[in-house]
Structure 1
């Protein structure tokens, strides 16, 4: 497999590691969007969050929980982001959690500002959508 994050996890390419456990690793993003932009990944390869085993999922989010307190000290506010699949913006098909320190003047805005053509739904459409997701 030619996965960049698997290579980082296996120490085949260098990275600026913040911490690691048996199942996950946190390191500075090589192409940061803010000072302290950190990625936390499972060491095993999974493309989507729903593919991650319970053991690796628990370890991944335990690591996120520990590292975010450190990252959050940089600015006092941190965005957590997970792109789950190519169409969501995932560029490397390996689960990764972004910890992005935010500042009031970074002009990134809230998540809703990413979507210019937001759909409008009636109450009935929302009820149907909710039922569909519940029954899946």
Structure 2
């Protein structure tokens, strides 16, 4: 399967690039939530955050941090929404972080799924223990 983001990285597919360095390429999303919505992708093809090699995490998220600031300043936004999907809702199977400029009362509602609180503290402790056991 050919990766659309790898094609952008390699210059085979056009994109409105906003930043690039040795670790990442950042470009405007073709279907933005709001103007300035930017995607940051690692140059190396990895599908999910958990596939990103440990030594690449720092450079990748340093770039995400820099791009986030530039998006906020460049769009004169009040803030931003920064997110990534792993597998579910990941439209392109290449790790990418979304930086969406936000403004107070910008109308973005329903972007998140419904909340499902724990029934009690015992359930929360049980779930936390299961996750801790994976480390």
Task: Check whether TM > 0.5.
Answer: yes
**Residue aligned with 1:79, SS:** strand
In structure 1, the partner of 2:80 is 78
Instruction: Give CA deviations for 1:69-94 in whole Å, capped at 9, x if unaligned.
Output: 111122121100101112xx111111
**Residue aligned with 1:58, SS:** helix
What is the CA-CA distance between 1:106 and the residue it aligns to? 2.2
What is the CA-CA distance between 1:100 and the residue it aligns to? 0.1
Instruction: Give CA deviations for 1:26-77 in whole Å, capped at 9, x if unaligned.
Output: 1111111101000000011111101101232222111111111111122121
Aligned residues of 1:25 and 1:40 also touching (Cα < 8 A): yes
Task: Point out the structure with the larger helix share.
Answer: 1
Consecutive unaligned residues in structure 1, runs of 5 or more: none
Consecutive unaligned residues in structure 2, runs of 5 or more: none
In structure 2, the partner of 1:54 is 54
> TM-score normalized by structure 2?
0.89
Alignment of 1:30-69 (within 5 A): 30-69=30-69
In structure 2, the partner of 1:129 is 127
Aligned residue pairs: how many? 132
In structure 2, the partner of 1:14 is 14
* Aligned-pair Cα RMSD in Å: 1.7
